[in-house]
Chain A
Amino acid sequence: DAGVTQSPTHLIKTRGQQVTLRCSPKSGHDTVSWYQQALGQGPQFIFQYYEEEERQRGNFPDRFSGHQFPNYSSELNVNALLLGDSALYLCASSFRVGTEAFFGQGTRLTVV
């Protein structure tokens, strides 16, 4: 079992550009959540996908959007990148609601 896999591991983008991050959930999991972790901070919840729909959303602007595919994998898209979007982006998967979440190793996004 490969666990939760995220790609790419590192990414450098220019302010104003758009970026797409990808996540494959752990085998058997159908729910994917995304978190943003700024340097020296705890992760902040962005949104959660289940059955290909956004089910819950944290306090993030509409520049942050996502998608879940029929195979349960997910993408996080960020438009009009700001310097403040530089962070580690973590994906977590679980089976339905109320069960343990397993995290990937994250994507380190640097906006210059």
Chain B
Amino acid sequence: AQTVTQSQPEMSVQEAETVTLSCTYDTSESNYYLFWYKQPPSRQMILVIRQEAYKQQNATENRFSVNFQKAAKSFSLKISDSQLGDTAMYFCALPPEQGGSEKLVFGKGTKLTVNP
């Protein structure tokens, strides 16, 4: 069974600073996707960034980037120049074995607070 572990229940950062959220996972698949989702108080789950496991290059989306270490099964999210609107729950997720990307296994989440 696939597992996703987020070891930081809560984190805080000052506006404009950089913060890194950790995620480790376990899977027997050799090719898979990894996702970071953001869930603000509005409750809607929003895809922040996606990484394909076969790609060596770390994914980047504007201020969001990942540090993907396949051998260590680690997938951390770095948020640069943090903004107040980044305050949210962040979930790491991956598809289960032989599943499509819409059937996801989520971690328990990290609550990020950006302070002014």
Q: List chain A positions with a Cβ less than 8 A from chain B.
A: 31, 33, 35, 40-45, 48, 56, 88, 90, 92-94, 96-106, 108
Contacts and interface: CB of A to CB of B under 8 A. Distances in A.
B45 A43 contact: yes
Contact of A104 (B44, B91, B104): B44
Max chain A Cβ within 10 angstroms of own Cβ: one of B46, B93, B104 = B104
Interface stretch (B59-67, B68-76, B95-103): B95-103
A5 B59 CA distance: 29
Nearest to A95: B102
Contacts of B4: 42
Contacts, number: 65
A108 B41 CA distance: 13
B108 A43 contact: no
B1 to A, nearest CB: 10
B102 A99 contact: yes
Interface of B: 4, 37, 42-47, 50, 91, 93, 99-109
Contacts of A96: 100
A17 to B, nearest CB: 23
B107 A98 contact: no
A56 B99 contact: yes
Contacts of A40: 108-109
Nearest to A47: B103
A95 to B, nearest CB: 9
A103 B48 CA distance: 12
9 contacts: A31-B100, A31-B102, A44-B106, A97-B101, A98-B101, A99-B100, A100-B50, A106-B44, A108-B43
Nearest to B101: A98
B109 A48 contact: no
A108 B43 CA distance: 10
Nearest to B37: A103
Contacts of B91: 42-43
A100 B44 contact: no
A40 B105 CA distance: 15
B108 A48 contact: no
Given A42-B106, A42-B107, A42-B109, A103 B101 contact: no
